[in-house]
Amino acid sequence: MNKKIAIFIAIVAVAIVFIGINILNSRRAEQASGIPRNATPVNWAYPEAQTVISTVSARGSVELRDKVVVFPETQAQILTVHVKVGDEVEAGDVLITYDSAILEVYENQLAEAQLALRTAQLGLEAARIAPTNMEILSAENQIEQARSNISSIEAALAQNELQITQLTENIITARNSFADTQTLFESGVVARVELDNAAEAVRRLEDQLAILLAQRDTTELGLQPAREAERLAVAGLDELLQRNSNPQAVNQLRVQQIAIERAQLSIEQIEKSIEDFVSEEIAGVSGTVINLFVTEGEISVMGRPMLEIADISSENIVIVVHVPEYDAGNISVGQEVEISGRAIGNDVYDGVIERIHPIATQRMSGTNVETVITVEITVDGETRLRAGNTVDADIVTKISEDTLVVPLMSTLSESGGVNYVYLVTDDSTLERRDITLGEFSNMFIEVFGLEETSRVVSNPAMSLHDGMLVRPIQPLNAEASE
């Protein structure tokens, strides 16, 4: 067992010696190269003097500057459309022919409207008839008769009251006479017959009084109906006199007046339709039919466009692009623009900003809404651009000539907006240099704060730091620059 362990230890010792030799060997090689093997490799490049052209890119389309929209002059069924999209037309050419059968319909409608007007006028006259004198006189007579009845009843009641008063006095006198006769009869002065006669006289007068009282009650019962008859007669007269001024009557009058106005309006419209009816739509300008919105058989609708005619030559086109609002401050009228697009192949046209719309608008961009400024660009001369083409516009906002630039990727920034680059020094360490950034163009950016001989790290990783030892890798253009 000890022999095995000894062999094992010997093998381990040899291995350790082997490893030690290797480590020493490796360190010698590193010292020979001067840079540790694990130093971070960095690419570097000299800043280049370039002309930086700053542009704002925007996408838009080619549109026609002027176009004529043809609206229908009449409302009728379209019999024939004489043009199609792309047709060249001259001013005066017939574009559309209408079906004249609509005129018969108009005439029937006019007759119906006139009848409606006459009916409404008759209704108004009927509503305006006043009460006759005979009706008023009859009503007044009824009032007079009612009042006469009341007077008669009141007179009868007064007469009745007088009779009751007189009879009451007579009864008192008869009762006094009976009392005296009874005294005399009890004294034996008069006979019983006289006493009975006195009693009979009192009873007869009391019977008469009862009859009078009953008559008065009956008369009073007739007074209330007579007064009600008078009130009704007076109300009847009032109603008659106010026949044209009560709300119902007024409403009736207004209804009839509206019916008349409606009928008159309808007549006017129909007469105007008849008067305005044209059998054909005529082209007002020469040009090309660029849009057609109607088909044969449909009814034209006033105010809805039927077709568009425009001059589609290069002189009449304008390029409309939409510049994001954050670039709006850099653009101005007169700036040069390079126009490109798939529709014109590899051609690039020079244009000029002609107009910048004063108000920003919002447009859908994918699923987002972006705020843009609409810019109109003109291109001089004959071009291959056609209305509707999509184009890309590069608006030249600034040109900086012979300025130092570095690749955009070589710049770094930290919070607070401080921008910096790393420079490779002669002893292969990094030096942080704060810089000011200028214009940006084509993956390069204008920088201030560097010299043409600065060796700028072009692939700065986040792990780099000031003073760090690195393994600089010679760029392909370094010798040429030096």
Residues forming the site for other proteins (CB under 8 A): 1, 4-5, 7-8, 15, 18-19, 21-23, 25-26, 28-30, 33, 36-38, 40-41, 43, 459, 461-463, 471, 473, 476
Identity of the residue, 27 or 59, whose beta carbon is nearer to other proteins in the bound complex:
27
Which two three-digit tokens encode residue 184? 């005399």
What's the closest the beta carbon of residue 430 comes to other proteins, in angstroms?
15
Identity of the residue, 25 or 245, whose beta carbon is nearer to other proteins in the bound complex:
25
CA-closest candidate to residue 44, choices 473, 411, 480, 470:
473
Identity of the residue, 357 or 471, whose beta carbon is nearer to other proteins in the bound complex:
471
What's the closest the beta carbon of residue 455 comes to other proteins, in angstroms?
15
What's the closest the beta carbon of residue 83 comes to other proteins, in angstroms?
58
What's the closest the beta carbon of residue 15 comes to other proteins, in angstroms?
5
What's the closest the beta carbon of residue 370 comes to other proteins, in angstroms?
25
Q: What are the residues whose beta carbons fall under 8 Å from the beta carbon of 117, sequence distance 6 or more? A: 260, 263, 264, 267
Identity of the residue, 130 or 462, whose beta carbon is nearer to other proteins in the bound complex:
462
Q: What are the residues whose beta carbons fall under 8 Å from the beta carbon of 364, sequence distance 6 or more? A: none
What's the closest the beta carbon of residue 43 comes to other proteins, in angstroms?
6
What's the closest the beta carbon of residue 439 comes to other proteins, in angstroms?
24
In the chain, the N- to C-terminal Cα span, in Å, equals: 70
The CA-atom distances, in angstroms, between 479 and each of 45, 130, 156, 471, 482 are 10, 120, 151, 18, 5
Q: Which residues pair with 390 in a beta bridge?
A: 61
DSSP-assigned states of every residue in 329-357:
GG--TT-EEEEE-GGGTT--EEEEEEEE-
Identity of the residue, 30 or 451, whose beta carbon is nearer to other proteins in the bound complex:
30
Q: What are the residues whose beta carbons fall under 8 Å from the beta carbon of 175, sequence distance 6 or more? A: 202
Helix/strand/coil (H/E/C) assignment for every residue in 93-126:
CEEEEECCCHHHHHHHHHHHHHHHHHHHHHHHHH
What's the closest the beta carbon of residue 420 comes to other proteins, in angstroms?
16
Identity of the residue, 207 or 479, whose beta carbon is nearer to other proteins in the bound complex:
479
Strands 470-473 and 40-45, how do they pair? parallel
Identity of the residue, 38 or 133, whose beta carbon is nearer to other proteins in the bound complex:
38
Q: Please provide residue 156's backbone torsions phi and psi, each rounded to the nearest 5 degrees.
A: -60, -40
Identity of the residue, 36 or 92, whose beta carbon is nearer to other proteins in the bound complex:
36
Identity of the residue, 9 or 210, whose beta carbon is nearer to other proteins in the bound complex:
9
CA-closest candidate to residue 118, choices 251, 263, 255:
263
Q: Please provide residue 296's backbone torsions phi and psi, each rounded to the nearest 5 degrees.
A: -65, 140
Q: Which amino acid is at 21?
A: I
